[in-house]
Copies of this chain bind each other. A is one copy, B any other.
Amino acid sequence: MSETPLAIGVDFGGTSVKFGVLYRSNIIDQAPAISTPDFDGPEALITAMLRVIADLRDRHPRIEAIGVGVPGFVQFEKGIVHNLTNVPGWTAIPLKKMLAAETHLPVVVENDANCMVYAEWKRGAGRGLNHLIALTLGTGVGGGVVANGKMIRGGQFGAGEIGQMSIDWRGRRGAYGNMGALEDYVGNNEIAADSRQAYADAGIERHLGECTPAALAKAALLGDEVALKIWDDIAAKLACAIMNCCWLLNPQAVIIGGGVAKAGDLLFNPLTAHLYAQLSAPFKERLMVLPARFGNEAGMVGAAALALEESGVVLQP
């Protein structure tokens, strides 16, 4: 191993908190995950996190920074968690300050989708690029933007919410009053509900459990016409939101990860077709549409990379 320092990447989710020790993009050690709902409020959970961090540092003295990705809205500069989508009690928590005070290490706290984007940009499919967008497709749709060789966080550190962008100005009303939000069409649950309806329209009865992205991919591979049409539909809706990002930002690459992206060519082929059909030459000629390199580990990888690079422990390569 070289002198590249180690970092802890923490992936803070609504179900569990995962801890990895990262050497570049490799998780060289992992602590047992903590169950998020087992803890009564932020203080108890932070105390447990500090205990895990201390254990990992005992085993790996070369750990030099800590990055935490959280499922919600973060003031990145100060590392304050404003609120978390599915974790009660996490309002205005100065997580960075609290972790740094105990560990005496540089700490960064960032939105989990931005960590995924950072992982793909610095260690994954987008290495070496200066302009990219990345999406993660699951129950929700998250994303992020890199432009001019920098993460774009915006005035209040909220940027990158591709899932909330509209594909229909008169469409479904979303969680924030936004009409036609992408997430309300291509989130896992919406795909299942719309697919059950598509089967019903074709005179076929399906349970929601038979309409998961995995089941739909399997059906499409077996030549199921309804399932093939569903994937084309998902691709067309995704292409609309991605096309909007392309016209606005002219990225070099669009990187797509998350569960729905596991459908592979079933998604990527119609997606690129719909996308390229709706862009002019300078926007598509050198545009790459790429699957994400990382899966579930993206949050830990990105948080650790952010911790090392944006806290100044190592300069960006």
Contact = CB atoms under 8 A, between A and B. Distances in A.
B240 A161 contact: no
Nearest to A150: B148
Contacts of A249: 145, 152, 154, 159, 248
A156 interface: yes
A278 B247 contact: no
A150 B149 CA distance: 11
A286 B156 contact: yes
B236 A176 contact: no
A268 to B, nearest CB: 18
Contacts of A162: 247-248
Interface string A169-198: 110000011111000000000000000000
Contact of A147 (B147, B164, B170, B287): B147
Contacts of A245: 248
Interface residues of A, number: 54
A173 to B, nearest CB: 9
A139 interface: no
A131 interface: yes
A178 to B, nearest CB: 4
A61 to B, nearest CB: 36
Contact of A283 (B158, B166, B170): B158
A251 interface: yes
A7 B129 CA distance: 34
Contacts of A148: 147-148, 150, 152
A280 B243 contact: no
Contacts of A137: none
Given A158-B282, A278-B176, A153 B240 contact: no
Interface in A221-240: 236-237, 239-240
A190 to B, nearest CB: 14
14 contacts: A82-B282, A131-B154, A148-B148, A153-B250, A154-B249, A156-B282, A156-B285, A161-B247, A166-B167, A169-B237, A176-B280, A177-B277, A177-B278, A179-B278
